[in-house]
Amino acid sequence: MAVSTVFTISPAAANYRGFHVNDWELCIGCSTCQKVCDNAAISMVKIPGLPEDPVKGILNERPAIDYGRCCWCGLCVDICPTSSLSLTTEYVHTCHEDKLDSYFILPDPKGIHDKHVAVITSLGVKIQYNTRIGQDISIAELERDYDAVVVAIGLQKGRSTRIPGSDHKQVKKAVNPLRKTTEGKTFNIPHSAVVIGGGNVAMDIARSLARLQKEQYGDIRMTVTALEDFEHFLADAEEIKEAREEGIEILDSRGPKQCVIDDNGRLTGLVTLRVVSIFDEDGRFAPRYDDSDEQTHGADMVIEAIGQMADISPFGDELIERLEWNRGHLKVDQDGRSSEPWLCRPVTWYPGPTWFTRWLTDTA
Ligand code: SF4
Ligand code: SF4
């Protein structure tokens, strides 16, 4: 259901399906839950420290749920022969000035996160907490002391379109207001905004700000402009549908040309051109535009949601210079090795919080 009005706090219904909890003492690792899951949201993770008796059907594996795939159908809970698996009714919204938006975080009333950490440490992995690379320990020390260093730091920084005017203070990278929203920090909500980008992050920031606009100004003035046509849109169809239901205008095949700044230095909008093609004949990203089809979208904030990149400053200038890069991403071979063979990043996507143990197993 699309949300077009401000949420109010209310307790979950008794049969609300929140997050999975599994009693490891009761669970026998039969993997029935995994087999019944039509969404392939469950992976069985081997935990060497747990008892195993294959003759009695007891295996030292436990289910890990991928919430990117789960649809909360509850089949896994219904079918669990030991009733070890259940769904909690807890849910948590992060707040902004005591008013709620749509962000959910995983509650941890029974120490679920601790269990994931226990899975990793039970395999012999030592976790060194509160250690910042580049401050508490240098990347050169890691290179010296270890055979391989795996980089799995996520993508924290937004990319810029670098169109004229994109250095204006009212041009924001989507990750920054999204982070502030999630952390409950205050910032000036634009009365009108244009988002550049057609992926789920673009929809996410557009919908988040639209709700805050509704709350603050009583109406929504939000436009999303994307390079792709609707047939090739990057965002999920459900996101597009719900964004429209919330009153967000979505324009396809529009490429950003420049941000409009008036004589007083105030940002007033974004100019876009119709997209003719996005890739050249070699498949490289090289958008071509129809200069005769120009539109100006009025806005007092422009948000760039065209992708993220890692904050590589902890690497230091010398290593950054030595490494090979591909459009801001560390270039690696099929095994995940960068141009410095000791420095790697995982190349296979492993869903769920146990990705590291599975990556370790596959690459061992
Ligand atoms: S069905 Fe139940 S007992 Fe079997 S692995 Fe899943 S949670 Fe454990
Ligand atoms: S609730 Fe989620 S994990 Fe369980 S069967 Fe349904 S989709 Fe799979």
Whether residues 202 and 287 fall in one domain = yes
Whether residues 335 and 246 fall in one domain = no
What's the pLDDT at 115? 62
For 133, 136, 227, the CA distances from 341, given in Å and listed in that order, are 19, 24, 36
Which of 19, 21, 75, 77 should be mutated for ligand 2, with most atoms under 8 A from CB? 75
What's the pLDDT at 187? 84
Residue 21, class by beta-carbon neighbours within 10 Å (0-12 exposed, 13-18 middle, 19+ buried)? buried
11 occurs within a structural domain? no
Q: State if residue 74 touches ligand 2 by the CB under 6 angstroms criterion.
A: yes
What's the pLDDT at 105? 36
Which of 27, 53, 112 should be mutated for ligand 1, with most atoms under 8 A from CB? 27
- What DSSP character marks residue 48? T
C-alpha–C-alpha distance, residues 256 and 269, integer Å? 11
Residue with the smallest CA separation from ligand 2 atom 8 is 37
Q: Which is the closest atom of ligand 1 to the Cα of 76?
A: 1
C-alpha–C-alpha distance, residues 65 and 140, integer Å? 37
C-alpha–C-alpha distance, residues 43 and 355, integer Å? 10
**CA 85 from centroid of its chain's CA atoms:** 27
5 occurs within a structural domain? no
199 occurs within a structural domain? yes
- For residue 235, the enclosing domain spans 157-308
Nearest-ligand number for the alpha carbon of 21: 1
Q: Which residues contact 227 (CB under 8 A, 6 or more apart)?
A: 198, 253, 254, 255, 275, 278, 287
Q: Decide: 211 and 101 in contact? Cβ < 8 Å.
A: yes
Whether residues 170 and 260 fall in one domain = yes
14 occurs within a structural domain? no
Whether residues 100 and 196 fall in one domain = no
What's the pLDDT at 116? 64
Q: How far is the CA of 20 from the centre of ligand 2 (A)?
A: 9
Whether residues 209 and 326 fall in one domain = no
Domain limit, last residue, from 308, 324, 354: 308
Whether residues 356 and 287 fall in one domain = no
Whether residues 164 and 27 fall in one domain = no
For 8, 75, 87, 97, 301, the CA distances from 90, given in Å and listed in that order, are 16, 19, 9, 22, 36
Instruction: Give the CATH number for residue 178.
Output: 3.50.50.60
Q: How far is the CA of 46 from the centre of ligand 1 (A)?
A: 13
What's the pLDDT at 12? 62
Q: Which helix (H) or strand (E) holds 87?
A: strand 85-87
Residue with the smallest CA separation from ligand 2 atom 7 is 70
Q: Decide: 157 and 173 in contact? Cβ < 8 Å.
A: yes
| DSSP notation for 136-184 | TB-HHHHHHH-S-EE------EE-----TTTTSTTEEETHHHHHHHHHT
What's the pLDDT at 174? 93
2 occurs within a structural domain? no
Which of 65, 78, 79 should be mutated for ligand 2, with most atoms under 8 A from CB? 65
Instruction: Give the CATH number for residue 68.
Output: 3.30.70.20
What's the pLDDT at 10? 56
Report which of 207, 220, 205, 236 is spatially closest to residue 306, judged by C-alpha positions: 205
Whether residues 272 and 345 fall in one domain = no
Q: Which is the closest atom of ligand 1 to the Cα of 85?
A: 7
Domain limit, last residue, from 76, 97, 121: 121
C-alpha–C-alpha distance, residues 77 and 41, integer Å? 13
Question: How many domains in the chain?
Answer: 3
Q: State if residue 85 touches ligand 2 by the CB under 6 angstroms criterion.
A: no
What's the pLDDT at 109? 47
Whether residues 48 and 170 fall in one domain = no
Whether residues 94 and 180 fall in one domain = no
Q: How far is the CA of 76 from the centre of ligand 2 (A)?
A: 6
Q: How many CB atoms lie within 10 A of CB 325?
A: 13
Q: How many CB atoms lie within 10 A of CB 363?
A: 14
Its pTM surpasses 0.85: no
Q: What is the pLDDT of residues 211-222, one digit of tens each?
A: 999 989 999 999
318 forms beta bridges with none
State the amino acid at position 349 in one-letter form.
W
191 occurs within a structural domain? yes
Whether residues 132 and 169 fall in one domain = no
Label each residue of 266-335 as H, E or C. Answer: CEEEEEEEEEEEEECCCCCEEEEEEEEEEEEEECCEEEECCCEECCCHHHCHHHHHHCCEECCEECCCCC
Q: How far is the CA of 116 from the centre of ligand 2 (A)?
A: 19
Q: Which helix (H) or strand (E) holds 222?
A: strand 222-225
State the amino acid at position 145 in one-letter form.
D
What's the pLDDT at 182? 73
Whether residues 147 and 218 fall in one domain = no
Domain limit, last residue, from 105, 121, 137: 121
What's the pLDDT at 332? 87
1 occurs within a structural domain? no
Nearest-ligand number for the alpha carbon of 18: 2
Q: How far is the CA of 349 from the centre of ligand 1 (A)?
A: 24
Q: Decide: 37 and 20 in contact? Cβ < 8 Å.
A: no
3 occurs within a structural domain? no
Residue with the smallest CA separation from ligand 1 atom 8 is 27
Q: How far is the CA of 77 from the centre of ligand 2 (A)?
A: 8
Q: State if residue 37 touches ligand 2 by the CB under 6 angstroms criterion.
A: yes
Q: State if residue 65 touches ligand 2 by the CB under 6 angstroms criterion.
A: yes
What token pair was written down for 293? 């089809």
With a cut of 50, list the residues of the chain below it in pLDDT.
Answer: 1-7, 9, 93-109, 349-354, 364
Q: How far is the CA of 228 from the centre of ligand 1 (A)?
A: 43
Residue with the smallest CA separation from ligand 2 atom 4 is 76
Q: What is the pLDDT of residues 159-212, one digit of tens each?
A: 899 999 999 999 999 999 988 877 777 889 999 999 999 999 999 999 999 999
Which of 82, 86, 115 should be mutated for ligand 1, with most atoms under 8 A from CB? 82
State the amino acid at position 211 in one-letter form.
R
Q: What is the pLDDT of residues 66-99, one digit of tens each?
A: 877 888 899 999 999 999 988 876 655 444 444 4
